[in-house]
């Protein structure tokens, strides 16, 4: 697999990452700053009480209009 150098920018700074895909570059940086786990019932209830909305991965936030 060929690789490219990707520029990854965010609140944690600017990174140059060699990766096969931009998703791979983003994952490389994100894994240093975030943790991911399956939400249990207690976590879901507490978050919903605090007004946290469930987000759908891959959902287009700015749908284009024809």
What are phi and psi for residue 24, nearest 5 degrees?
A: -65, -40
pTM of the model: 0.67
Considering the chain, what is the average pLDDT of its residues? 90
Residue 58's pLDDT is 85
Contacts of 43 (CB under 8 A, 6+ apart): none
Rg, C-alpha atoms of the chain: 16
Going from the C-alpha of 30 to that of each of 12, 34, 42, 45, 66, the distances in angstroms are 9, 6, 25, 26, 34
On the question of pLDDT at 1 being above 80, the answer is: no
Of the pLDDT bands very low, low, confident and very high (cuts 50, 70, 90), residue 12 is confident
What are the pLDDT digits (tens) for 22-38?
Answer: 999 999 999 998 999 99
Any idea where the domains of the chain sit in the sequence?
4-49
């Amino acid at each position: 697999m060929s690789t490219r150098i990707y520029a990854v920018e965010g609140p944690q700074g600017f990174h140059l990452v060699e990766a096969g895909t931009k998703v791979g570059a983003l994952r490389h940086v994100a894994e240093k700053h975030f943790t991911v786990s399956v939400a249990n019932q207690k976590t879901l209830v507490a978050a919903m009480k605090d007004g946290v909305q469930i987000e759908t991965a891959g959902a287009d936030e700015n749908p284009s209009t024809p």
